[in-house]
Amino acid sequence: MTSPFNRRAALALADPHLQQALGGGTGRFGELRLKAFESTAAPLALRARAREIRRRTFEEVGRHLETLMANLRRAGVEVHAAPDAEAARGIIAGIARRHGAKLAVKSKSMASEEIHLNEALEKAGVRPVETDLGEWILQLAGETPSHLVAPALHKTLDQVADLFARKVDPGAGRDPEALTALARRALRQEFLAAGVGISGVNFAIAETGTLCLVTNEGNGRLVTTLPRVHIALMGFEKVVPTLEEALTLLAVLPRSATGQKITSYFTMVTGPRRPGEPDGPEEVHLVLLDNGRSRHLGGPFQEAFHCIRCGACQNACPVFQTVGGHAYDSVYGGPIGAVLSPMLRGLEASGELAAASSLCGACQEACPVLVDIPRMLIEMRGARVAQRTIGRGEALLFRAAAWTMRRPALWELSFRALSWLGRPLSGRLKAGWLPGALGAWAKGRELPFPARRSFRDRWRERQRGRKAAPASSPAAEERTPEGMVDRLRRQAALGHGPAAPPPDTLPEVEVPDPPARFQHEFEAVGGKVFRPASLEEAKAHLLELAGRWRGRPAAMSGGLPLPAAEWLREAGFEVLPPSGEGDGRDRLAAAGLGVTGCAWAVAETGTLVLPSGGDSPRLHSLLPEAHLALVREETIVPHLSALGPRIRGAIAGERPSCVQLITGPSRSADIALTLIRGVHGPREVYVILLPRGLA
């Protein structure tokens, strides 16, 4: 009998739209991933270090979770434990009800998909609105995500355009940019009206009690800033002990997911808004989800918790590339999903997914934290056999194989017989020629012609040759196919990771001129840098930029290194002060240019770092059409890793409720993988880079 997975896979193979959508998508992600790692000094050492961080975290996961909870509470976050999906749904719906919320905006969260949160919110009278562009498309279509990072990967441009024409605007058209602009307009209203914001968590930093979100569109920032209440939901595996370790994982996650050095936004939330801060939620809750995870701690599948949900294994997997994510019938599809789904839902429900793999190892090869997925798939298959969740026929077949394998002579004889019998069939075996379940198995397969000499024969011959003759030189080995393959195999094994333990301090690319490198990287992600030689030039740049949105107000943070507000007022611009409440938020949303300072900037990635504070609202770099940052050259650090001690110092000292890393404009590729700017946040980003002594 055909298994449910096979039936779903057959439907996927017969769906021309899905095949068209999958065709370019997964392959393009794979190419971008390989290119992105080229910009690191030691890609293998970086990945080995990331793996080590995840491995060590789970050696003492209980201690790290205790530290995390203590520091979250210290920062003013209310922590809730949810042993299962029902408890998590109840907690979140209860918080929303308590605050009288009728509308909840959500940023992408696989954990919320796992617990089917939207249905529970609707039952509780709260309308959930997905705000990630891909998730919004799926909500309109009544579908579920098919990929960890690109949830609407399975949809073609024509399908999205038809959906928008039916559900959003009959004149929506087929231009991805226009479709994205429609989504921006529709969702802006929802953000401004929502009572509750619900997000996932990429990393939860134990030492500071900080919840981190890795996003590109800016919806994560809006969800965690505009509503009065922010509820974060995460499986306990998202804990990371220290800031530096989170920054190392940040160096591999976007590279593996979308081929970016870093995403447009890395949002670090440490509690609700502080007294004096003009924006941010008044309450922050964390729902810590178990839902079947803890029974695997210390077991053979614990390594699956090392996963940082980048989706690279899905892109690399030949099965996923062919049938897409929905064939797995689980929120977690692809190779890691084939392990996670049975872990969370049980072998009975999802164990068959372990067989949906060729065990080629491409998933582990692609994984930034080197999760040994093939090993776990094999163990999962073993567990299915042990629990007898496989069919009787299959079990009988494997028992017979095991009995024969324990008798080497019989095993060899049976293979000789099979080879002899198979010869007339090979090349002529077609779909359906075999009876029953064997016919289904043979569908799409071709029986190769059996080798004239078996592996065992060739091995014996080789051993005899080695005894008779002196060891062959490498050059002589190269002349035989076996010798060459052997050498390649040994070399490939070396390429799987450094043999020595990874160093604590990773080698980093040299940055001899940080301001020049910052400018190069900032412009590479779509920004524009001005480097004025005098205050007059700086003023002229500022007025020229603001003039592009003449007639619209300019939003101004305080404590800037230039008298920018004064210059703009003198030139007749309306200037909005650093406040974002009530009507102020609508005014801010209508602003053309938002002007902020910048605590630090990172040369190697072109990143701006903006801690929140009384003078530094979160929204000024988010709601206006364009964002301008005034950056002093001496605040540029060479590498992302240099931010660790600085951010730690800020969290301990000024205690910002949010530290925001910004790298380029808001962006999305959720419509047919076409890159569009300004989906939720600013379309354009500018920097006036001030030389030493000018400010």
Name the residues that contact ligand SF4, by CB under 6 A: 148, 256, 307-313, 336, 366-369, 371
H or E element that contains 114: helix 110-114
* Nearest by Cα to 338 from 377, 390, 303, 290: 377
Q: How far is the CB of 471 from ligand SF4 (least distance, A)?
A: 40
CA-CA distance, 271 to 649, in Å (whole number)?
16
Decide whether 53 or 565 has the Cβ nearer to ligand SF4: 53
Decide whether 139 or 256 has the Cβ nearer to ligand SF4: 256
Q: Are 18 and 154 in contact (CB under 8 A)?
A: yes
Q: How far is the CB of 371 from ligand SF4 (least distance, A)?
A: 4
Q: Which two tokens stand for residue 331?
A: 């929120």
Q: Are 634 and 692 in contact (CB under 8 A)?
A: yes
CA-CA distance, 447 to 449, in Å (whole number)?
7
CA-CA distance, 78 to 514, in Å (whole number)?
40
Q: How far is the CB of 368 from ligand SF4 (least distance, A)?
A: 6
Decide whether 256 or 519 has the Cβ nearer to ligand SF4: 256
Decide whether 164 or 320 has the Cβ nearer to ligand SF4: 320
Q: How far is the CB of 249 from ligand SF4 (least distance, A)?
A: 10
CA-CA distance, 429 to 416, in Å (whole number)?
19
CB burial of residue 419 (10 Å; 0-12, 13-18, 19+): middle
Q: Are 123 and 147 in contact (CB under 8 A)?
A: no
Decide whether 307 or 658 has the Cβ nearer to ligand SF4: 307
Decide whether 255 or 274 has the Cβ nearer to ligand SF4: 255
Decide whether 190 or 303 has the Cβ nearer to ligand SF4: 303
Q: How far is the CB of 109 from ligand SF4 (least distance, A)?
A: 15
Q: How far is the CB of 311 from ligand SF4 (least distance, A)?
A: 5
The residue type of 657 is S
Decide whether 370 or 609 has the Cβ nearer to ligand SF4: 370
Q: How far is the CB of 353 from ligand SF4 (least distance, A)?
A: 14
* Nearest by Cα to 591 from 559, 558, 631, 628: 628
Which ranges constitute the DSSP H helices of 60-109? 61-74, 85-98
Decide whether 364 or 621 has the Cβ nearer to ligand SF4: 364
Q: Which two tokens stand for residue 5?
A: 């997975």
Decide whether 150 or 308 has the Cβ nearer to ligand SF4: 308
Q: Which two tokens stand for residue 57?
A: 């975290």
Decide whether 333 or 527 has the Cβ nearer to ligand SF4: 333
Cα 563 to chain center, whole Å? 40
Q: Are 555 and 623 in contact (CB under 8 A)?
A: yes
Q: Are 566 and 601 in contact (CB under 8 A)?
A: no
CA-CA distance, 101 to 93, in Å (whole number)?
10
Q: Are strands 265-269 and 658-662 parallel, antiparallel or unpaired?
A: antiparallel
Q: How far is the CB of 253 from ligand SF4 (least distance, A)?
A: 8
CA-CA distance, 547 to 592, in Å (whole number)?
9
Q: How far is the CB of 339 from ligand SF4 (least distance, A)?
A: 8
* Nearest by Cα to 322 from 19, 658, 645: 19
Q: How far is the CB of 375 from ligand SF4 (least distance, A)?
A: 12
Q: How far is the CB of 335 from ligand SF4 (least distance, A)?
A: 6
